[in-house]
Chains A and B, each alone.
Chain A
Amino acid sequence: MRNKHLHPLALLMFLGQLIKAFFFSFIFIVLGSKNIVLLTSIVLGLLVVFATINYFTFTYSILPNELFIKTGLIFKKQRHIPYDRIQTIQNRQWFFLRPFGVEEVIVNTAGSDKDKSRVSLLAVKTTIAPIIEKYHLAATHQTPNLQSNSEQPTSNGATKPTQYQIKGTDIFVFGLTDIHFIGELLALLAIIDRIHISFNQIANFYSSFATSFYRVLESIITFIILLMAIGVVKTAIKFYKFTLTKSGNHLIIEKGFFQRKTINLPIDKIQSVIFKQNAIRQLFHLTTVQMDLVTDSDSDDEKQVITVMPVVKDHLAYHVVNQFIGLIPKQQVAFRSGDGYSQWLFARNGVFFSLLFFGPLTGLAFWTRIWPLWSLVLTLFVVSLAIGNGIYKGRVTAAKQISTTQIAVQTARLFTKETQIVNWHQIQSMNLRQSIWMEHSGRAHLSIAIRRGYSARMITYRYLPKSDGQRIFDWYRNFANKQL
Chain B
Amino acid sequence: MQSLPIRVKTVWLFSILIEALFWASGAVAYLIGLRFWDWLPQMGLLIIIGLGLISLIIQLLLIPYRYRFYHFQVNDTDVEIEKGFFFRHHIAIPIARVQNVDLNQGPLLISQSLYQVVIDTGGSSHKIDALNKHHAEKLKERVMQLAMEAKNAQ
Residues in B33-74 with C-beta less than 8 Å from chain A? none
Q: How many angstroms between the C-alpha atoms of A451 and B76 in the bound complex?
A: 24
Residues of A within 8 A of B16 (CB): none
Q: How many angstroms between the C-alpha atoms of A432 and B88 in the bound complex?
A: 8
Chain B residues packing against A (C-beta within 8 Å)? 76-78, 80, 85-97, 121-124, 126, 149-151, 153-154
Q: Are B151 and A146 in contact (CB under 8 A)?
A: yes
Residues of A within 8 A of B150 (CB): 483-484
A-B contact list, 8 entries, CB within 8 Å: A294-B122, A428-B121, A435-B86, A452-B123, A476-B92, A477-B80, A484-B149, A484-B150
Residues of B within 8 A of A480 (CB): 77-78, 94-96
Residue-wise interface mask of A (446-462) relative to B, using a CB-CB cutoff of 8 A (1 in contact, 0 not): 00011110111110000
Q: How many angstroms between the C-alpha atoms of A428 and B93 in the bound complex?
A: 7
In the complex, the chain B residue whose C-beta lies closest to that of A450 is: B123
Residues of A within 8 A of B80 (CB): 477
Q: Are B154 and A146 in contact (CB under 8 A)?
A: yes
In the complex, the chain B residue whose C-beta lies closest to that of A429 is: B93
Q: Are B77 and A484 in contact (CB under 8 A)?
A: yes
A431 at the interface (CB under 8 A from B): yes
Q: Are A431 and B153 in contact (CB under 8 A)?
A: no
Question: A430 with B154: in contact, given A451-B122, A456-B124 (CB under 8 Å)?
Answer: no
In the complex, the chain B residue whose C-beta lies closest to that of A470 is: B90
Residues of A within 8 A of B123 (CB): 428, 449-452, 454-457
Residues in A408-432 with C-beta less than 8 Å from chain B? 427-432
Q: Are A429 and B92 in contact (CB under 8 A)?
A: yes
From B85, B93, B153, contact of A484 by CB (8 A): B153
From B85, B86, B92, contact of A477 by CB (8 A): B92
Chain A residues packing against B (C-beta within 8 Å)? 146, 149-150, 294, 427-436, 449-452, 454-458, 473, 476-477, 480-481, 483-484
Give the dominant DSSP class at B's interface: mixed
- Distance from A269 Cβ to chain B, minimum over Cβ atoms (Å): 12
Number of A-B contacts (CB under 8 A): 83
Q: Are B121 and A449 in contact (CB under 8 A)?
A: yes
Q: How many angstroms between the C-alpha atoms of A428 and B154 in the bound complex?
A: 16
Q: Are A456 and B121 in contact (CB under 8 A)?
A: yes
Residues of B within 8 A of A429 (CB): 91-94, 97, 121, 124, 126
Give the dominant DSSP class at A's interface: strand
- Distance from A158 Cβ to chain B, minimum over Cβ atoms (Å): 26
Q: Are B124 and A434 in contact (CB under 8 A)?
A: no
Most buried by A among B92, B96, B149: B92
The 6 closest A-B pairs by CB, nearest first: A456-B123, A480-B77, A428-B121, A449-B124, A456-B124, A480-B94
- Distance from A335 Cβ to chain B, minimum over Cβ atoms (Å): 23
Residues of B within 8 A of A457 (CB): 123
Q: How many angstroms between the C-alpha atoms of A431 and B86 in the bound complex?
A: 16
Q: How many angstroms between the C-alpha atoms of A451 and B153 in the bound complex?
A: 22
Most buried by B among A431, A476, A481: A431
- Distance from B84 Cβ to chain A, minimum over Cβ atoms (Å): 8
Q: How many angstroms between the C-alpha atoms of A146 and B154 in the bound complex?
A: 8
Q: Are A432 and B86 in contact (CB under 8 A)?
A: no
In the complex, the chain A residue whose C-beta lies closest to that of B152 is: A146
Question: A430 with B92: in contact, given A449-B121, A449-B123, A484-B77 (CB under 8 Å)?
Answer: yes
Q: How many angstroms between the C-alpha atoms of A430 and B85 in the bound complex?
A: 19
- Distance from B71 Cβ to chain A, minimum over Cβ atoms (Å): 14
Residues of B within 8 A of A294 (CB): 122
Q: Are B76 and A484 in contact (CB under 8 A)?
A: yes
From A433, A449, A454, contact of B89 by CB (8 A): A433
Most buried by B among A150, A449, A455: A449
Q: How many angstroms between the C-alpha atoms of A149 and B126 in the bound complex?
A: 23
- Distance from B75 Cβ to chain A, minimum over Cβ atoms (Å): 8
Q: How many angstroms between the C-alpha atoms of A335 and B123 in the bound complex?
A: 29
Residues of A within 8 A of B149 (CB): 484
From B85, B90, B95, B151, contact of A431 by CB (8 A): B90
Q: How many angstroms between the C-alpha atoms of A434 and B86 in the bound complex?
A: 8
Question: A428 with B124: in contact, given A435-B87, A480-B95 (CB under 8 Å)?
Answer: yes
Q: Are A150 and B90 in contact (CB under 8 A)?
A: no
- Distance from A196 Cβ to chain B, minimum over Cβ atoms (Å): 40
Q: Are B90 and A473 in contact (CB under 8 A)?
A: yes
Most buried by B among A428, A450, A455, A484: A428
A452-B123, A456-B123, A477-B94 are known contacts; what are 11 more A-B pairs with Cβ within 8 Å?
Answer: A149-B154, A429-B91, A429-B97, A429-B121, A431-B89, A431-B90, A432-B90, A476-B94, A477-B78, A481-B76, A483-B96
- Distance from B79 Cβ to chain A, minimum over Cβ atoms (Å): 9
Q: How many angstroms between the C-alpha atoms of A455 and B154 in the bound complex?
A: 23
Residues of A within 8 A of B89 (CB): 431-433
